[in-house]
């Protein structure tokens, strides 16, 4: 389906007006109740004004640095995992990023 200029502008406005805790998937009618959205948009990543993965994408972080940010941001917020669990996971990704950086020099 090809959109004309007006339709594209309207979609852009809708996208820019997405509220805190929402993602682009919410633009799809009825998608919020979809279990996939609940799985990819859990509350332990919605503590701030933007989604963690949106920040990671905006900063163009690689896999390892992105996971550091993810685990630090959600530390202690995910049901069944302690703050220490998440910080230890972040530490593993920091160490791997450092290892890869050291090997590339």
Tens of pLDDT along 23-35? 554 554 444 444 5
Query: What is the spatial distance between Cα 32 and Cα 23, in angstroms, rounded to a whole number?
Result: 9
Q: Where are the domains of the chain?
A: 1-41, 51-105
The predicted model gives 40-68 an average pLDDT of 83
The pTM of the full predicted model, rounded to 2 decimals, is 0.59
Residue 42 has pLDDT above 60, yes or no: yes
Residue 20 has pLDDT above 60, yes or no: no
Ramachandran area for residue 101 (φ above 0: left; ψ -120 to 50: alpha; else beta): alpha
Tens of pLDDT along 59-92? 999 999 999 999 999 899 888 889 999 999 999 9
């Amino acid at each position: 389906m090809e959109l004309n200029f007006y339709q594209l502008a309207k979609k852009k406005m809708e996208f820019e007006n997405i509220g805190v805790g929402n993602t682009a998937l919410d633009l799809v009618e009825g998608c919020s109740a979809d279990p996939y959205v609940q799985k990819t948009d859990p509350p332990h990543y919605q503590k701030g004004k933007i989604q963690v993965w949106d920040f990671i994408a905006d900063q163009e972080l690689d896999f390892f640095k992105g996971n550091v940010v993810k685990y630090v941001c959600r530390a202690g917020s995910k049901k069944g995992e302690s703050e220490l669990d998440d910080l230890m996971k972040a530490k593993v990704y920091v160490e791997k990023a450092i290892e890869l950086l050291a090997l590339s020099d």
